[in-house]
Structure formats: C-alpha cells, structure tokens
Amino acid sequence: MISCRWLVGSVLFLALPLAACHSAFVQATINNNSGAAISDIQVDYPSASFGLNSIPDRSSFHYRFKILGSGKPHISFTDASRKTHQADGPDLQEGQEGALGISIEPGYQVTWQPKLSTNR
C-alpha cells in the first residue's frame, strides 16, 4: 500500500519542473486606426523581426515574441499613397513579458502602449 505522504511527495517532485519552467513572451498587437489600409508592415525588436503584407483599416494583427537582448522596437509601413512611415518604440529589456500595443492613428501617427514587466 502506498502511503499518502509518499504519494503527495512524488506528485510535488514531478510537478516542480513544470512550475519552474516559464518563458517570458510579449504579445504584440498592431491596431490600424488610420482610416485606410496599410501595407508592407515590418516590426523590428531586439534580436529579430516580423512582418506582414497588409492590415485593413479598423483591423488588428497579433504576434507573440520573446525579447533576447535589449533595445527599441521599430515599425515601418506604407500608406495608400505608397509613402513609407517609421517610428521607434520604448526600450525593451531581455526577460520582459506582457503586452505591447502599437496603434497607427489618423495622420499615420504611431503610439506605443507597453504593458511589460520583468518576472524573475
């Protein structure tokens, strides 16, 4: 017969690696509120980048990434008249996690909404 103490100890021992494993990810959301579709979107962040062909007006795009290193993110995109726009974001640090909102507003003004923390 297995003792209750042994069973509880075994379960806790086996669950320990699951509790200790936590990867810090950032959920980025690009919101296009500009009044027109945007295209050729590229977002660079410390150690990598992502891109997409287009985002229609009043639409969003979500992307999950891990910050390796530190630095400022950068977005570039093209408007309907084929003019390129660029903007730098807030400082990002390795190990941060949470959400990073990127809003493209009328006049193609870019605002950044970081909701990040370091969970160490």
Give pLDDT, residue 5.
62
Percent of the chain exceeding pLDDT 70 equals: 81
Whether the pLDDT of residue 19 is over 90: the answer is no
Beta bridge partners of 112: 102
DSSP the chain: ---HHHHHHHHHHHHHHHHH-----EEEEEEE-SSS-EEEEEEEETTEEEEEEEE-TTEEEEEEE---S-B--EEEEE-TTS-EEEEE---B-TTEEEEEEEEEEGGGEEEEEEEEEE--
Is the overall model pTM greater than 0.85, yes or no? no
Q: Domains of the chain (ranges plus CATH)? A: 22-118 (2.60.40.2890)
Ranking 16-20, 50-54, 60-64 by mean pLDDT, the lowest is 16-20
Mean pLDDT, all residues of the chain? 88
Ranking 21-25, 42-46, 48-52, 74-78 by mean pLDDT, the lowest is 21-25
Nearest to 108, CA basis, from 78, 88, 73: 78
